């Protein structure tokens, strides 16, 4: 396989962590998961975005940087590494959540840190409709996520694609999932394996399923 460092991304509730875990198990890969439960500001953020947005984003930025920095040298025991997020997630969400003055400060910090972050061999984005995502969020039953609106999820999706259109240093493949079918975790994993079996150009590509 052409890809050793694989990122699985997606909107909130798209199933990226479930997919990353399954793929890592299949490949006997090192698995690096975002530790979002450690963010003490997240529950308050969903009920009071203006008050807690900057704290949430700064905490995530620092956590992601420390976690990825510890893994820069790779692992001699695992040929593959699978991540359920990319460092650019901090820039993507800060663009939505922060006021203009806060965002300018945040971007300065992000750019300093981003220079030291490794680029993946491929990023695979699980793309589904906002209605599908709302349904999946409801199923997993995290109380603080019940306050997430469809408008917010749409803004997240738009911000991801804005980033994808500008990023040309590695392949980004969007899995366009069929909205009329039930996309089980097993199906999504099979789609990811299909993507990984092919060679992709740098920049944004789409694959429909």
Tell me which residue has tokens 């940087």: 65
* Closest listed residue to residue 12, CA positions, set 96, 112, 76, 114: 96
Q: What is the mean pLDDT of residues 191-199?
A: 97
Handedness of CA 38, 39, 40, 46 (dihedral sign): negative
Q: Which domain holds residue 54?
A: 5-208
What pLDDT score was predicted for residue 193?
97
Lowest mean pLDDT across 70-79, 171-180, 191-200: 70-79
Number of domains composing the chain: 1
pLDDT of residue 147: 82
**Whether residue 128 has pLDDT greater than 80:** yes
Rounded Cα distance, 71 and 49, in Å: 32
pLDDT at 118: 85
**Interaxial angle between packed helices 49-69 and 100-114, expressed in degrees from 0 to 180 and rounded to the nearest 10:** 0
Calculate the average pLDDT of the chain.
93
Percent of the chain with pLDDT over 70: 98
- To the nearest whole percent, how much of the chain has pLDDT over 90? 76
CATH at 164: 3.40.50.300
For 20-75, write each residue's pLDDT tens digit: 999 999 999 999 999 887 899 988 998 898 899 999 999 999 999 999 998 776 66
Tell me, what's the pLDDT at 182? Answer: 82
Q: Which of 192, 197, 201 is nearest to 209 (CA)?
A: 192
pLDDT at 74: 64
Active site residue 84: yes
Phi and psi at 118, nearest 5°, equal -70, 150
Q: If you write DSSP's letter for every residue of 81-140 in order, what string do you get?
A: EEES--TTHHHHHHHHHS-HHHHHHHHHHHHHHHTTSPPPSEEEEEE--HHHHHHHHHHH
Determine the Cα–Cα distance for residues 107 and 87; give it in Å rounded to an integer. 13
Catalytic residue among 84, 101, 114, 121: 84
């Amino acid at each position: 396989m052409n890809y050793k460092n694989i990122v699985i991304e997606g909107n909130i509730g798209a199933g990226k962590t479930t997919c990353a875990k399954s793929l890592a198990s299949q490949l006997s890969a090192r698995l690096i998961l975002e530790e979002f439960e450690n963010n003490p500001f997240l529950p308050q953020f969903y009920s009071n975005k203006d008050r807690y947005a900057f704290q949430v984003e700064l905490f995530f930025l620092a956590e992601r940087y420390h976690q990825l920095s510890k893994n820069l040298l790779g692992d001699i025991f695992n040929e593959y590494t699978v991540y359920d997020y990319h460092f650019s997630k901090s820039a993507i969400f800060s663009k939505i959540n922060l006021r203009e003055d806060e965002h300018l400060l945040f971007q300065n910090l992000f750019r300093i840190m981003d220079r030291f972050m490794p680029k993946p061999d491929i990023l695979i984005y699980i793309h589904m409709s906002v209605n599908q995502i709302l349904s999946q969020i409801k199923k997993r039953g995290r109380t603080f996520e019940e306050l997430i609106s469809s408008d917010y999820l749409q803004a997240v999706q738009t911000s991801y694609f804005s980033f994808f259109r500008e990023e040309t240093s590695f392949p980004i493949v969007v899995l366009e999932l069929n909205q009329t079918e039930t996309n089980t975790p097993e199906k999504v994993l099979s789609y990811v394996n299909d993507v990984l079996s092919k060679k992709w150009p740098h920049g944004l590509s789409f694959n429909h399923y």
